Structure 1
């Protein structure tokens, strides 16, 4: 399980989302249900918009917004 429980986006700190696939491990990093993904896993979800975290982390500062 991963130790880093927080992620910073646009200068704000959020809790990372645990893997929620109950049937099988994450295909990208092998995380089991309830565990955090390995850092940089392409399947980890963004805690603000539910997109892929790796994509959100590459956005320009102040361009990331929550999708309501």
Structure 2
């Protein structure tokens, strides 16, 4: 799933990603597209707080592409 937050300023990219994570299933991978450089800092904090993971962060032509994985389903 791609979450397009290009052109939005902090905290909107993180909020859009958080909403998409809630809709995605456990262990799903999502890609955030953002032009706000703060997303490079905010998203790892968001994922750590949610128990998910940042898979990769890349930047090209002023657009950050951040791939994340949602938390796995609880076991037990």
TM-score range, shorter chain: under 0.3
State TM-score, norm by structure 1. Answer: 0.28
Higher RCO (CA < 8 A, seq sep 6+)? 2
- Name the structure with the higher strand share: 2
- Name the structure with the higher helix share: 2
State TM-score, norm by structure 2. Answer: 0.26
